Structure 1
Amino acid sequence: MIIAAIDIGSNAARLLINEVKIQNGKPEYIKLNLLRIPLRLGMDVFTLGKIGEEREKMVLDSMKIFSDLMKVYKVEHYRACATSAMRDAENGNEIIEKVKNHANLTIEIISGDEEATLVYENHVAEGLDKDFAYLYVDVGGGSTELTFYENDTMIYEKSFNIGTIRLLNNLVTDDNWKEMKEEIKANISSKKQVVAIGSGGNINKVFSMSKTKDGKPMSIAYLKKAYKEFNDLTVEERMTKYGFREDRADVLVHALKIYNFVMHWADINKIFVPKISVADGLIHNIYERVSGEK
């Protein structure tokens, strides 16, 4: 079975195409292609309230490319979801209608809570040590999703309008941070030690730079060190020194700020980074739906 997931975020749009095969009675997900386009919708939406003409054209052109690629791979099932920026854009529904006509793709605008659930759909914690409780932390351009998981059960999930593109444009208030801190202090607690599971392009980049072995956790001490290191440099210096693309160099420090705050407030000292995403969660969600597993 060939399945595609499209995740239209505030910083980038991603198309993930997977083939799902049954091995020993369990589904195995094989990545066939992943295409990322830095649309940066949040740059328009969080400052202007809508998606401007230039970025609207980028959305239409990108979705046409995604649609054509899905035909080449003979995709049988797909789901396309838009998150924080499209949720906030006053012309979001209008653009979705244009995409339907231009690229024959149906896009859903999903809530922050559903976004958090999709990250949780990866079921990463199920394969980890049951002696710990786990906090999924998904940092995007427009929002951060937290999902708390203990004893094979989701205990708490919440989406916060704190994201890297919002921070880049100075649009996160003290009240936003206060709400996140109070929510974490009130809801993220366990008799077990709590460990974080991070997702998103920024934490994946930091993890690869840390030289931590796959399957091993990264320490909050390294996140603090990386934050200070990047924060002391300009965007251009980060690009030159580390070979970052501009759309990574300008948001990475803001992502690290969010991870450091969340882990500090939740009293977490280590984070697993298993390279999961909303798109991966969508693939799992689609497969479970069409195969009747749920």
Structure 2
Amino acid sequence: MTVNVMFSAPPRLWPVYKPLLENYLDEMGIDVDLKTGFSPDVVDYVVYAPSGLRDFTPFTRLKAVLSLWAGVESIADNTTLTVPLARMVDHGLTQGMTEWVVGHVLRYHLGIDAHIHGLKGEWRQDVPPLASERAVTILGLGALGQAAAVALAALGFRVTGWSRSARDVPGVTCLHGGDGLKTALNSAEIVVLLLPSTPATENTLNAETLALLPRGARIINPGRGPLIDDTALLAALDSGHVGHATLDVFRTEPLPASHPYWTHPNVTVTPHIASETRPVTAAKVICENIRRGEAGEPFLHLVDRGLGY
């Protein structure tokens, strides 16, 4: 029986994913009809990235929606979607995020900015501490947070991880809950945000929680823009309580040219490039979930609709 898969994602992705999905499904022995448009009542699976599709009511045969993105905040609360929703967890995306996070943590740890932008003609030998003397806190211990935490711990950093629910990550001090967040921030010289964007995580870093950080702490946010109260962060940067922030994600993207982050001397802006879904590996994850659905096996990476991730 032919499986009907509708690709509902930005048009630029279609020529990239179409041959990959068809080839992988063919290798799995699955006869597939893959299109960007079907009569909704014959669609078995929707491969999804935000692209205009919002009403899933007509999709009466739908078995699952398979997201190309790790973040699903744009669809998780959609009341017309009653079938399983799977988010993207794939090796390429995880590896890319790990490399970006490790790179920027090392940049702060080694004081690289000072040598790139300053010290002209000044022979100032500020030797950085060893990684074992540097405290790094990861907020969020999902797939991306765990991978970054493990990589940093392998380099010798003293890594603390915080999540809303209890986790156990080898080599990482794991904390959770409100008191755990306070403890995680109290000693953090570098903070990395890798939480999902949900109503419960919005403004995780605000005036109150930023005040818990040691003076001069650095912040790295490749997670989601709403995790930070922008006004509170700018005030903490202006006062010197936060020494520097590297921000890859924002509430409005592209970041408006008038936004103060662009010109603040203690902010580095990167244009949402920390990690990207890699089609070659992501397509394999999508196809594996289609195979599982057709075999009656549990889907991978299902979203808890109550939690929003």
Q: TM-score, normalised by structure 1?
A: 0.30
Q: Which structure shows the higher helix fraction?
A: 1
Q: TM-score, normalised by structure 2?
A: 0.29
Q: Which structure shows the higher strand fraction?
A: 1
